[in-house]
């Protein structure tokens, strides 16, 4: 029998939840705005198998960077193309921010409770899953908000630009993936994402601690 380390057992469920809800949110929002493409392809589902890319998941587990299968959409089906594309693109990161906050809520309760019972915080698998749910959801949200193709942030920004600014951005867009790879390879992305993500996490923890501490 293979024994997996607690850290890995905590990361895999957290990754599956973060990725699945991210893609589901895209599909659900697209359907809301009138595009049935994702639904017809079985992506309007909370089944992780419907969204996973095997290589992307493997990369996430090993090097903590990877991807899921993009949700197919047809913006021409939207009731309002610009608004639809904006909200569909924002839905994934938005869902991750919500999940990150909910995970923080349960994580803080778990820490306080175990400390009161055992005199120290005993994490184990449950604590590891909750901790990684916070980390992965917040980082996934911030990462996807970077305005470089093929990330959600690029589509969000394109819906907000007009005229000359949009034309300039569209000329830059083809180079987005190469810029993203350069940031990943040379480590610049971590210096950008880290401070923002942990700032958000600290805000989450502060809010939750203020709310739940009096009741525990």
Alpha-carbon distance of 30 to 205, in angstroms, equals: 32
Q: Which one of 23, 103, 180, 208 is the catalytic residue? A: 23
Burial class of residue 171 (count of CB atoms within 10 Å of its CB; 0-12, 13-18, 19+): exposed
Residue 90 burial (C-beta neighbours within 10 Å; 0-12, 13-18, 19+): buried
φ/ψ of residue 123, rounded to 5: -80, -65
Task: Report CA 112 to chain centroid distance, whole Å.
Answer: 26
User: Is 173 among the catalytic positions?
Assistant: no
| Residue 80 φ then ψ, to 5° | -130, 110
Percent composition of the chain: helix, strand, coil (DSSP 3-state, to 5) = 75, 0, 20
Active site residues: 23
């Amino acid at each position: 029998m293979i024994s997996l380390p607690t850290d890995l057992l905590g990361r895999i469920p957290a990754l599956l939840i973060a990725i699945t809800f991210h893609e589901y949110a895209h599909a659900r929002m697209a359907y809301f705005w009138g595009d049935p493409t994702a639904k017809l392809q079985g992506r309007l589902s909370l089944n992780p198998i419907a969204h996973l890319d095997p290589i992307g998941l493997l990369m996430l587990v090993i090097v903590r960077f990877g991807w899921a299968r993009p949700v197919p959409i047809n913006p021409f089906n939207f009731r309002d193309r610009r608004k639809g594309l904006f909200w569909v693109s924002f839905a994934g990161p938005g869902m991750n921010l919500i999940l990150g906050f909910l995970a923080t809520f349960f994580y803080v309760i778990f820490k306080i409770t175990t400390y009161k019972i055992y005199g120290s915080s005993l994490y184990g698998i449950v604590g590891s899953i909750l901790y990684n749910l916070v980390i992965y959801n917040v980082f996934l949200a911030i990462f996807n908000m970077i305005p470089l193709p093929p990330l959600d942030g690029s589509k969000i920004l394109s819906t907000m630009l007009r005229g000359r600014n949009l034309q300039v951005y569209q000329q830059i867009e083809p180079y987005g993936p190469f810029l993203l790879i350069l940031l990943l390879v040379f480590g610049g992305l971590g210096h950008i994402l880290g401070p923002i993500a942990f700032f958000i996490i600290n805000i989450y923890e502060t809010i939750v601690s203020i709310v739940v501490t009096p009741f525990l």
